[in-house]
Structure 1
Amino acid sequence: MTKETSSDSRRLLLLAADWQTRALTLAELKERGHQVLALPGLRWGLKALLQGRVDPPLVFVDTKDDDFVSPEEIHHLRELLPDVPIVLLTGVFERETYAAIQEDVDAFLVRPITIGEIVAAIEEKLPEGKKS
């Protein structure tokens, strides 16, 4: 296995267990010219981060259908990446569960939402100079 180049590791990190959200958001971000590493949930994302496979300029986390994601794990993600914007998407009925960690994320999105709105929030929070 070869070591990834620095440009390969600077991909946006898209973490969504829900395959539809992952596929549609990935397609829209790629269409707009972004490099993205899409993984099926937070567990996979944390593993990639801890293994040094990715050094993302931004992380998107969708809580839908992800049994691993929790406020504690989002806080852990923030500790791993203190200077990296985190965009969190949750369901309307999970809003209260994640309300306590709103300060740990840079954008707090709630379903129902369109893919266009998700991508707009990601692009808004992407640091200047990091836009692919």
Structure 2
Amino acid sequence: MGGATLAAIFWRSLVGWAMPAKADRRLVASASCGVQMLGSLLFLFAAGDGGLGLLLAIALFGLGIGNATSLPPLIAQQEFSAAETARVVPLIVAIGQAGYAFVPAVFGLLRGGDVAGAGGLFFCAAAIQLAAIGCLLAGR
């Protein structure tokens, strides 16, 4: 978890510093989800192996931690007027937090009900990240 957290801090700082003001923030968010999706898929292939594959999976997954929270308000800021942004951002945060609150329970039910083993959970996470990329790009 420490390695994933370090990767998250590094990536969020780099994105915040390097992203131009006029950048297409949906593309930046999509790239972030894509990197995290690759990390999820690498967890599948590194299952049971404590080697380089697992470390790379942790790093790639960690790069996306927090970007699902920080980038949507930046997208709203770019796509809505100032008055609309003041209403949209709290909605984004509320919807996101509601989702984040229930995902562990859903994953627990999937795992506990033997619907998906650990590998299935990583595949499910990758599928959700792919769906997020599709939503981000469809909204352009």
Larger Rg: 2
Question: TM-score if structure 1 supplies the norm length?
Answer: 0.29
Instruction: For CA contacts below 8 A with separation 6 or more, give which structure has more relative contact order.
Output: 2
TM norm structure 2: 0.28
**Structure number having the greater helix percentage:** 2
